[in-house]
Chain A
Amino acid sequence: MPARYTRAMAMGLLTRLAQPGHFMRWSGALLPWVAGLAIVLLAIGQYLTWFVVPPDYQQGETVRIMYIHVPAAWMAVFFYGAMAVSALGTLIWRHPLADVAQRAAAPIGAAFTLICLVTGSLWGKPMWGTYWVWDARLTSMLVLFLIYCGLLALWRTIEDPNRAARAVAILTLVGAVNLPIIKFSVNWWSTLHQPASILRMGGPTIYASMLYPLLVMIAAASVLGLALHLQAMRTEILRRRVRTLTILEAERLDAALLAPQAA
């Protein structure tokens, strides 16, 4: 079979999978498996974190916070990337599922960013002696959280979901252009103000006994994020259907009220 037919078939399959009705069907079938896998992976990861990983020779037991902190940071950035891709889908193809994907991703990404910030500050208390330092990485996570808050606020301000989706898509892409600049400028600012005064995490290398549990936890967080995202997308699609039905019902009632007067 020539390559372009395969490609056309693959595109056709993608288009079909992305149609909201189809999406509801296959995601409904898939979701229990993804959620189950997330629970299994989380259980394994948590077991490894609490019982298998040795305490760090410098940081002691607090190093276990890392197994929540690092996956959360990864998911926070990942969901912003997912939102940027969905934003392209919204603006270029005006695909309704892209709107839904973007809307569903924002609160999950914000939640992971918040988890990352909170665990980071809890970890900072025993390590640095204070809950918050204006360290470059903490600060750029804080700015990321603020951007997430702005996006969520914009979603909640514009009533019509289609207009809101386009506005948020533009803001997401502007934010995506800005994020590397923010990261770079915060690094600059941080080195300017406090030259290497912070205890760094165990040097550049990390032992295998600590690395494997971390990878398991990252995989668990990724699958958990996928499950949450699918569930949130389904909820959002249903919410939009309810909205459409409510509007139709109101129009029907309006027509029924007006009909006797007209007659």
Chain B
Amino acid sequence: MGRAFLAVVARDLRLAGRIGGSGALSLVFFLMIVALVPFGLGPDLNLLARIGPGILWIAAVLATLIGLDRLFQADEEDGSLDLLTGAPAPLEVLVLAKVTAHWLTTGLPLALATPLFGLLVALSPTGMAATSLTLLVGTPALTFIGAVGAALTASIRRGGLILAVVVLPLMVPTLIFGVSAADAALGGTVPFATPLAILGALSLVAGVVGTLAAAAALRWGE
């Protein structure tokens, strides 16, 4: 079971790095959104520093959606999804592997790139570290919730828009606690650890619910 897990992770990582993979694309998209915000709100650095964590988090939510619609759809089209569902390893493990690979190529790079992009919105070093940490803890929740939508829309052509509509309302709690944890680090009445712990809890709950629901959706999709 462990070998099957690692094999699927390795396969998806290799695919993400090749032509047509969305590995670097979501990072570029993340940069685009962060760069667009000052054009909309004006270049006032004080304002940008105040709402910086929020900008980075909204950008992360949107960037997670990139490539998510292809998470199971590509496998559905070339038939490898049938092999995965028919494999002796439990489908839940394989879903977990695919989601992990997706997070390694989108969520993790976003969290690591946050200190760099934080410069654009004039975040203080504390703010950068805090936002980076919250993204590291919170983006798994986004990916798992998104995986449910991806599994539900796997066989729908042009499922990208419906995926976003279905998945975004469910991401509201993660966004709230991610931003409030990052804000708490920059000062405020709430201690940093409280929202961060809730964010971790959200990621764990999403990990269980998302894996089970996505596997169920793939199994009952036929």
Contact = CB atoms under 8 A, between A and B. Distances in A.
Interface of A: 91, 143, 146-147, 149-151, 153-154, 157-158, 163, 166-167, 170-171, 173-175, 177-178, 181-182, 184-186, 188-189, 192
B168 A146 contact: yes
A222 B190 CA distance: 41
Given A174-B209, A192-B180, A150 B156 contact: no
Contacts of A143: 169, 172
A127 B180 CA distance: 29
A124 to B, nearest CB: 21
Contacts of B221: 163, 166-167
A213 B170 CA distance: 36
10 contacts: A154-B152, A157-B159, A171-B148, A171-B152, A177-B209, A181-B173, A181-B205, A182-B170, A185-B198, A189-B180
Contacts of A149: 165
A153 B176 contact: no
Nearest to B168: A146
B166 A186 contact: no
Interface stretch (B32-40, B65-73, B130-138, B212-220): B212-220
A192 B54 CA distance: 15
Contact of A171 (B166, B172, B180): B166
Interface string B37-65: 00000000000000000000000000000
B169 A150 contact: yes
A175 B170 contact: yes
B152 A170 contact: yes
A251 B202 CA distance: 50
A186 B169 CA distance: 12
A185 B175 CA distance: 10
A181 B166 contact: no
A185 B170 contact: no
A51 B180 CA distance: 47
B165 A185 contact: no
B190 A192 contact: yes
B153 interface: yes
Interface residues of B, number: 30
A188 B176 contact: yes
Given A182-B173, A192-B190, A170 B213 contact: yes
Contacts of A188: 176-177, 180
Do most interface residues of chain B lie in helix, strand or loop, or is the interface mixed?
Answer: helix
Closest 7 CB pairs of A and B: A185-B173, A146-B169, A150-B166, A166-B220, A189-B176, A185-B176, A167-B152
A157 B156 contact: yes
Given A170-B148, A171-B152, A192-B180, A185 B172 contact: yes
B89 interface: no
B217 A167 contact: yes
B15 interface: no
A169 B68 CA distance: 21
Contacts of A157: 153, 156, 159, 162
Contacts of B162: 153-154, 157
A158 B165 contact: no
Instruction: From A150, A151, A163, name the one whose CB has the most chain B CB atoms within 10 angstroms.
Output: A150
A196 B177 CA distance: 20
B65 to A, nearest CB: 14
A174 B156 contact: no
Nearest to B180: A192
A228 B168 CA distance: 29
Instruction: From A147, A157, A158, name the one whose CB has the most chain B CB atoms within 10 angstroms.
Output: A157
Given A167-B221, A174-B209, A189-B180, 18 more contacts: A91-B220, A146-B168, A147-B169, A150-B169, A153-B162, A154-B153, A166-B217, A170-B216, A170-B220, A171-B166, A174-B170, A174-B213, A175-B170, A178-B173, A184-B173, A185-B172, A188-B176, A192-B190
A147 B176 contact: no
